[in-house]
Chain A
Amino acid sequence: METERQETYDIMAVCLLAGKIMLQSGAETYRVEDTMMRIAASFGAYQSHPYVTPTGILFSVEGSEPTKTKLIRIVERTTDLEKVASVNGISRKISAGEYTIEEAYKELKKISESGSPYSLWVHVFAAAIASGCFLIMFQGSWDDFLPAFITGGLGFLSLLYFHQLVPIKFFSEFSASLLIGLQALFFVSIGIGGELDKIIIGSVMPLVPGLLITNAVRDLMAGHLISGLAKGADAFLTAFAIGSGIAVIFSFF
């Protein structure tokens, strides 16, 4: 009896850890719920009910004993698609029966403690080159490529820096887009950049909440109304922060 109870708790720990990593890394709600149920079922807990929202996970397992329920709180959310993919891979292996509970927990712990696969400077370079490319995609001229490259890179770097300084998303996005607007204005006024609009649009693109918007809509369509609305609100706030940062520049100059 006692060992059975302990085992149920162990299963729940594995499921919750997997769910937590996925949710924090930006997976869709239905994928998190599906993965948790699959893992629970392959360890023998066939009756499980995960309830996932962007800010917390409720998970309960039914069995011969009284139902057990656990809750974990999700505070920090980032985007880390590598982790989503690796947890997905582990869940596949668990379903195939390749891992015991302890091994699965250890593997998941390893994933949750692993850092980003790219260094900070690779991120900044990617943001910079994406900004330049977006400028061309929006029919900008190649003369503006370099200003957009620098503006986008520095803007993204400042987003990361401000976020470390004050962990409020709205503030860091607002300041980053303010800085982008200032830089674009600077480049245009000293004559290096041509079209102010195109440079700003291109450099702001790395901040745009594309993943959130897609996830919000998919959650809503899948019937996860609370998650969908919460993510939609998150995306709207981000868009509003970026917009108002740029708006400040325009109202002053």
Chain B
Amino acid sequence: MTIIEQLLTSFIASAAFVIIFNGPKRSLFHCGLVGMVGWMFYFLLEANGVDMVLSTVIASFSIAIASQYFAKKYKTPVIIYSVAGIIPLVPGGIAYNAMRNFVQNDYNLAINMAAKAFMISGSIAIGLVFSEVINQIIRKSKLKTIVNKSQ
């Protein structure tokens, strides 16, 4: 039940974000799918006791792969899909708690939370970049085999 609930809400939330960002209407459905895939990876891994940072890396990696797939298939800039997918992973809740603890003079906990938020945003980036690097390696190695064949 929780899974269905999470699937549905993450799909709607990601698609709604594309509307806020004025995304093209024809890619709304695909953006929702990308967001859903990323959130499912994150949610399931985190629920099974995997570290938050690691699950964020894996989730953003999966988002990047899915968005590159859609971008290539529909000849649209990859950013449209990856932004929609990334939004649920942004550590809004942790950043909020950090801010709240700062205001309530609990600096130890606040720094703790802020460091965690920083780690998570860094791991989103690492996941994205990592998949881009792999994509380029694949593309270049393919190009080489084509060049070799034609010679």
Contacts and interface: CB of A to CB of B under 8 A. Distances in A.
A122 B19 contact: yes
Contacts of B24: 81-82, 85, 117
A250 B103 contact: yes
Nearest to B83: A211
Interface in B113-130: 121, 124-125, 128-129
Contacts of A80: 21-22
B143 to A, nearest CB: 18
B20 A127 contact: yes
A194 interface: no
B20 A208 contact: no
A246 B100 contact: yes
Most chain A CB within 10 A, of B18, B20, B24, is at B20
Nearest to B31: A81
Contacts of B13: 129-130, 133-134, 137, 205
Contacts, number: 147
A98 interface: no
A123 B100 contact: no
A30 B130 CA distance: 17
A123 B19 contact: yes
Contact of B16 (A133, A211, A215, A251): A133
Interface residues of A, number: 53
Contacts of A132: 9
Contacts of B25: 117
Contacts of A247: 99-100, 102-103
Contact of A208 (B16, B27, B90, B97): B90
B95 A243 contact: yes
A118 B103 contact: no
Given A81-B24, A85-B77, 12 more contacts: A81-B23, A126-B20, A137-B6, A137-B10, A137-B13, A204-B92, A210-B86, A210-B90, A213-B124, A214-B125, A217-B129, A246-B100
A59 B116 CA distance: 41
Contacts of A133: 9-10, 12-13, 16
Given A79-B21, A81-B23, A243-B96, A129 B86 contact: no
Contacts of A186: none
Contact of A28 (B9, B21, B79, B129): B79
A123 B17 CA distance: 9
A197 interface: yes
A138 B104 CA distance: 23
Given A88-B77, A205-B87, A247-B103, A79 B6 contact: no
A23 interface: no
